Amino acid sequence: MSFVAKYCSISLSNLLNAYCRSTKLTKSVLIYSKNGFNNANPFNRSPIDNFEAEENSENQLKRKKTLKKPKVYLKNDDGQSLGLMTLENARKIATKLKKNLIETEISTKIPTMQLIDSKKNLNDLIDNEELSSDAKSERSKISKKIITFSSKLTTNDLQTKIKQIKRLLLKDQEVSVRISIANPTDSEKLETIFMNLKSIFNEKNGIKLNQKIQNEKYLKFNLKSENFNLTKANFSNLNAGTDSNRIEN
Protein backbone atom coordinates (compact mmCIF):
# COMPACT_ATOMS: atom_id res chain seq x y z
CA MET A 1 0.00 0.00 0.00
CA SER A 2 1.29 3.40 -0.93
CA PHE A 3 2.12 6.07 1.65
CA VAL A 4 -0.84 8.21 0.52
CA ALA A 5 -3.29 5.29 0.89
CA LYS A 6 -2.01 4.52 4.39
CA TYR A 7 -2.21 8.17 5.41
CA CYS A 8 -5.77 8.52 4.10
CA SER A 9 -6.86 5.30 5.86
CA ILE A 10 -5.41 6.39 9.23
CA SER A 11 -6.78 9.93 8.96
CA LEU A 12 -10.26 8.69 8.02
CA SER A 13 -10.27 6.18 10.88
CA ASN A 14 -9.16 8.80 13.43
CA LEU A 15 -11.80 11.20 12.13
CA LEU A 16 -14.47 8.54 12.61
CA ASN A 17 -13.28 7.83 16.16
CA ALA A 18 -13.55 11.51 17.06
CA TYR A 19 -17.00 11.66 15.54
CA CYS A 20 -18.11 8.59 17.51
CA ARG A 21 -16.94 10.14 20.77
CA SER A 22 -18.84 13.36 20.19
CA THR A 23 -22.11 11.87 18.97
CA LYS A 24 -22.13 8.45 20.72
CA LEU A 25 -23.28 6.43 17.70
CA THR A 26 -25.30 3.28 18.21
CA LYS A 27 -23.66 -0.06 18.57
CA SER A 28 -24.60 -1.12 15.06
CA VAL A 29 -22.69 1.82 13.57
CA LEU A 30 -19.68 0.98 15.70
CA ILE A 31 -19.74 -2.60 14.46
CA TYR A 32 -19.93 -1.37 10.89
CA SER A 33 -17.01 0.96 11.54
CA LYS A 34 -14.92 -1.86 12.93
CA ASN A 35 -15.71 -4.22 10.05
CA GLY A 36 -15.40 -1.56 7.34
CA PHE A 37 -12.70 1.03 7.94
CA ASN A 38 -10.62 -0.68 10.56
CA ASN A 39 -10.05 -3.80 8.48
CA ALA A 40 -7.74 -1.69 6.35
CA ASN A 41 -5.64 -0.94 9.38
CA PRO A 42 -6.03 -3.37 12.35
CA PHE A 43 -3.80 -1.21 14.54
CA ASN A 44 -6.59 1.38 14.87
CA ARG A 45 -9.27 -0.91 16.39
CA SER A 46 -8.41 -0.09 20.01
CA PRO A 47 -9.84 3.47 20.11
CA ILE A 48 -13.34 2.23 19.19
CA ASP A 49 -13.05 -0.70 21.61
CA ASN A 50 -11.99 1.73 24.31
CA PHE A 51 -14.94 3.98 23.51
CA GLU A 52 -17.39 1.08 24.01
CA ALA A 53 -15.71 0.16 27.30
CA GLU A 54 -15.89 3.76 28.51
CA GLU A 55 -19.56 4.01 27.57
CA ASN A 56 -20.38 0.78 29.47
CA SER A 57 -18.43 2.05 32.47
CA GLU A 58 -20.40 5.32 32.46
CA ASN A 59 -23.71 3.43 32.34
CA GLN A 60 -22.68 1.23 35.28
CA LEU A 61 -21.66 4.32 37.26
CA LYS A 62 -25.04 5.94 36.61
CA ARG A 63 -26.84 2.79 37.79
CA LYS A 64 -24.81 2.74 40.99
CA LYS A 65 -25.66 6.36 41.71
CA THR A 66 -29.39 5.66 41.40
CA LEU A 67 -29.28 3.01 44.16
CA LYS A 68 -29.79 5.07 47.32
CA LYS A 69 -28.88 3.52 50.64
CA PRO A 70 -31.59 3.75 53.36
CA LYS A 71 -30.92 6.43 55.97
CA VAL A 72 -31.98 6.73 59.62
CA TYR A 73 -31.77 9.19 62.48
CA LEU A 74 -29.73 7.57 65.25
CA LYS A 75 -29.97 8.24 69.00
CA ASN A 76 -27.79 6.92 71.80
CA ASP A 77 -29.14 5.05 74.83
CA ASP A 78 -29.75 8.38 76.61
CA GLY A 79 -31.98 9.58 73.79
CA GLN A 80 -29.49 12.13 72.45
CA SER A 81 -29.35 12.53 68.67
CA LEU A 82 -26.25 11.24 66.87
CA GLY A 83 -27.40 12.64 63.54
CA LEU A 84 -28.50 11.35 60.15
CA MET A 85 -26.62 8.38 58.66
CA THR A 86 -27.07 5.28 56.57
CA LEU A 87 -28.65 2.22 58.14
CA GLU A 88 -25.45 0.31 57.39
CA ASN A 89 -23.36 2.78 59.43
CA ALA A 90 -25.88 2.69 62.28
CA ARG A 91 -25.55 -1.09 62.44
CA LYS A 92 -21.76 -0.82 62.43
CA ILE A 93 -21.90 1.60 65.38
CA ALA A 94 -24.24 -0.75 67.28
CA THR A 95 -21.91 -3.69 66.65
CA LYS A 96 -18.84 -1.71 67.69
CA LEU A 97 -20.47 -0.51 70.93
CA LYS A 98 -22.08 -3.93 71.57
CA LYS A 99 -25.54 -2.39 71.64
CA ASN A 100 -28.92 -3.43 70.31
CA LEU A 101 -30.51 -1.28 67.60
CA ILE A 102 -34.27 -0.69 67.83
CA GLU A 103 -36.66 1.36 65.70
CA THR A 104 -38.55 3.89 67.83
CA GLU A 105 -40.33 6.01 65.21
CA ILE A 106 -41.56 4.46 61.98
CA SER A 107 -44.29 6.90 60.97
CA THR A 108 -41.86 9.51 59.62
CA LYS A 109 -40.27 9.45 56.15
CA ILE A 110 -36.84 8.76 57.67
CA PRO A 111 -37.15 6.31 60.61
CA THR A 112 -35.54 6.96 63.99
CA MET A 113 -33.46 4.24 65.64
CA GLN A 114 -31.92 4.06 69.10
CA LEU A 115 -29.01 2.23 70.65
CA ILE A 116 -29.82 0.32 73.84
CA ASP A 117 -27.74 -1.84 76.12
CA SER A 118 -27.74 -5.51 75.15
CA LYS A 119 -28.84 -6.53 78.65
CA LYS A 120 -31.64 -3.97 78.85
CA ASN A 121 -35.17 -5.21 78.33
CA LEU A 122 -37.38 -3.31 75.91
CA ASN A 123 -39.84 -2.61 78.72
CA ASP A 124 -37.18 -0.61 80.58
CA LEU A 125 -37.62 2.13 77.98
CA ILE A 126 -41.31 2.69 78.78
CA ASP A 127 -40.47 5.82 80.80
CA ASN A 128 -38.25 7.29 78.10
CA GLU A 129 -39.93 10.40 76.74
CA GLU A 130 -37.90 10.11 73.55
CA LEU A 131 -39.93 7.10 72.45
CA SER A 132 -42.87 7.72 70.16
CA SER A 133 -46.44 7.39 71.47
CA ASP A 134 -46.96 4.46 69.10
CA ALA A 135 -43.96 2.65 70.60
CA LYS A 136 -45.22 3.27 74.16
CA SER A 137 -48.69 2.03 73.25
CA GLU A 138 -47.20 -1.08 71.66
CA ARG A 139 -45.23 -1.88 74.82
CA SER A 140 -48.27 -1.41 77.03
CA LYS A 141 -50.13 -4.00 74.97
CA ILE A 142 -47.51 -6.70 75.48
CA SER A 143 -46.47 -5.97 79.07
CA LYS A 144 -48.20 -5.92 82.44
CA LYS A 145 -46.98 -4.41 85.70
CA ILE A 146 -47.58 -6.43 88.87
CA ILE A 147 -48.32 -4.78 92.23
CA THR A 148 -48.24 -7.09 95.26
CA PHE A 149 -48.91 -6.45 98.93
CA SER A 150 -50.28 -8.19 102.01
CA SER A 151 -53.66 -7.89 103.68
CA LYS A 152 -51.72 -6.68 106.75
CA LEU A 153 -50.88 -3.48 104.89
CA THR A 154 -51.40 -0.29 106.88
CA THR A 155 -53.66 2.50 105.65
CA ASN A 156 -50.72 4.77 104.79
CA ASP A 157 -48.91 1.99 102.91
CA LEU A 158 -52.07 1.21 100.98
CA GLN A 159 -52.38 4.87 99.96
CA THR A 160 -48.83 4.61 98.61
CA LYS A 161 -49.81 1.52 96.59
CA ILE A 162 -52.84 3.35 95.19
CA LYS A 163 -50.62 6.20 93.98
CA GLN A 164 -48.27 3.68 92.41
CA ILE A 165 -51.16 2.05 90.54
CA LYS A 166 -52.39 5.45 89.37
CA ARG A 167 -48.97 6.34 87.96
CA LEU A 168 -48.90 3.13 85.94
CA LEU A 169 -52.44 3.66 84.64
CA LEU A 170 -51.49 7.21 83.61
CA LYS A 171 -48.86 5.60 81.36
CA ASP A 172 -51.63 3.54 79.76
CA GLN A 173 -50.13 0.49 81.44
CA GLU A 174 -52.17 -2.54 82.43
CA VAL A 175 -51.75 -3.41 86.13
CA SER A 176 -52.14 -6.75 87.85
CA VAL A 177 -52.90 -6.38 91.59
CA ARG A 178 -52.22 -9.31 93.90
CA ILE A 179 -53.11 -9.17 97.60
CA SER A 180 -51.77 -12.07 99.66
CA ILE A 181 -53.82 -13.26 102.64
CA ALA A 182 -51.58 -13.27 105.71
CA ASN A 183 -54.16 -15.00 107.92
CA PRO A 184 -57.45 -16.78 107.17
CA THR A 185 -59.14 -14.46 109.65
CA ASP A 186 -58.16 -11.48 107.44
CA SER A 187 -60.82 -12.29 104.85
CA GLU A 188 -63.07 -9.45 106.07
CA LYS A 189 -60.20 -6.95 105.95
CA LEU A 190 -59.27 -8.24 102.50
CA GLU A 191 -62.79 -7.56 101.26
CA THR A 192 -62.67 -4.04 102.74
CA ILE A 193 -59.41 -3.32 100.90
CA PHE A 194 -60.85 -4.64 97.66
CA MET A 195 -64.04 -2.55 97.91
CA ASN A 196 -62.02 0.60 98.57
CA LEU A 197 -59.81 -0.10 95.56
CA LYS A 198 -62.90 -0.75 93.47
CA SER A 199 -64.39 2.61 94.53
CA ILE A 200 -61.31 4.35 93.04
CA PHE A 201 -60.49 2.19 90.04
CA ASN A 202 -63.85 1.98 88.29
CA GLU A 203 -65.66 2.96 85.10
CA LYS A 204 -66.30 6.50 86.39
CA ASN A 205 -62.54 7.00 86.17
CA GLY A 206 -62.24 5.14 82.87
CA ILE A 207 -60.87 1.96 84.51
CA LYS A 208 -61.98 -1.59 83.82
CA LEU A 209 -61.51 -4.20 86.57
CA ASN A 210 -61.50 -7.78 85.36
CA GLN A 211 -60.15 -11.31 85.86
CA LYS A 212 -60.80 -11.34 89.59
CA ILE A 213 -59.51 -14.53 91.18
CA GLN A 214 -59.70 -15.31 94.90
CA ASN A 215 -58.65 -18.34 96.91
CA GLU A 216 -57.44 -19.03 100.43
CA LYS A 217 -53.97 -17.62 99.66
CA TYR A 218 -54.54 -14.47 97.63
CA LEU A 219 -56.89 -12.15 95.77
CA LYS A 220 -55.86 -11.14 92.25
CA PHE A 221 -57.38 -8.85 89.61
CA ASN A 222 -56.35 -6.70 86.66
CA LEU A 223 -56.84 -2.96 86.07
CA LYS A 224 -56.73 -1.30 82.66
CA SER A 225 -57.75 2.11 81.38
CA GLU A 226 -60.57 1.84 78.83
CA ASN A 227 -60.92 5.63 78.54
CA PHE A 228 -57.43 7.10 78.89
CA ASN A 229 -58.55 10.74 78.59
CA LEU A 230 -60.97 10.28 81.49
CA THR A 231 -58.34 8.45 83.54
CA LYS A 232 -55.82 11.20 82.88
CA ALA A 233 -58.28 13.93 83.84
CA ASN A 234 -59.23 12.27 87.15
CA PHE A 235 -55.85 10.86 88.22
CA SER A 236 -53.45 13.62 87.15
CA ASN A 237 -53.44 15.23 90.62
CA LEU A 238 -52.01 12.35 92.66
CA ASN A 239 -51.75 14.45 95.81
CA ALA A 240 -55.43 15.37 95.89
CA GLY A 241 -56.96 13.77 98.96
CA THR A 242 -60.54 13.27 97.81
CA ASP A 243 -62.95 11.16 99.78
CA SER A 244 -62.86 8.47 97.13
CA ASN A 245 -59.13 8.03 97.76
CA ARG A 246 -59.44 7.56 101.51
CA ILE A 247 -59.16 4.00 102.79
CA GLU A 248 -61.57 2.92 105.44
CA ASN A 249 -60.24 0.98 108.39
Asked, for residue 155, whether it belongs to a domain, the answer is yes
- By three-state DSSP, how is residue 241 classified? coil
- By three-state DSSP, how is residue 76 classified? coil
Tell me which of 83, 105, 132 is where a domain ends.
132
185 lies in the same domain as 209: yes
121 lies in the same domain as 153: no
- The residues near 23 (Cβ < 8 Å, ≥ 6 apart) are none
153 lies in the same domain as 222: yes
Per residue in 5-39, pLDDT (tens digit) is 544 555 556 666 655 555 554 444 444 444 454 44
Q: pTM for the whole thing?
A: 0.42
Asked, for residue 56, whether it belongs to a domain, the answer is no
Per the structure, the complete domain to which residue 103 belongs is given by 71-132
Q: What is the CATH number of the domain that holds 157?
A: 3.30.110.10
Asked, for residue 193, whether it belongs to a domain, the answer is yes
DSSP H helices in the chain: 3-23, 27-36, 46-66, 87-97, 133-142, 155-169, 187-200, 228-235
Q: What is the CATH number of the domain that holds 98?
A: 3.10.20.80
159 lies in the same domain as 102: no
Asked, for residue 28, whether it belongs to a domain, the answer is no
216 lies in the same domain as 163: yes
Distance CA 77, CA 119 (A): 12
125 lies in the same domain as 149: no
Distance CA 231, CA 193 (A): 21
Asked, for residue 19, whether it belongs to a domain, the answer is no
The count of domains in the chain is 2
168 lies in the same domain as 124: no
Residue 8 near residue 16 (C-beta atoms within 8 A)? no
- By three-state DSSP, how is residue 148 classified? strand
Asked, for residue 201, whether it belongs to a domain, the answer is yes
> Measuring CA to CA, which residue among 189, 202, 205, 200 is closest to residue 155?
189
228 lies in the same domain as 166: yes
177 lies in the same domain as 95: no
Tell me which of 107, 132, 157 is where a domain ends.
132
The 10 Å Cβ neighbour count of residue 128 is 16
Distance CA 142, CA 130 (A): 19
Asked, for residue 31, whether it belongs to a domain, the answer is no
In tens digits, what is the pLDDT along the chain, a chain of 249 residues?
555 454 455 555 666 665 555 555 444 444 444 445 444 454 444 555 555 556 666 666 666 555 677 888 888 877 788 889 998 898 898 888 888 888 776 556 788 888 887 555 444 554 444 445 555 555 444 467 889 998 888 889 999 999 999 999 998 889 999 998 877 777 788 888 988 899 999 999 999 988 888 887 888 899 999 998 899 898 887 654 444 444 444
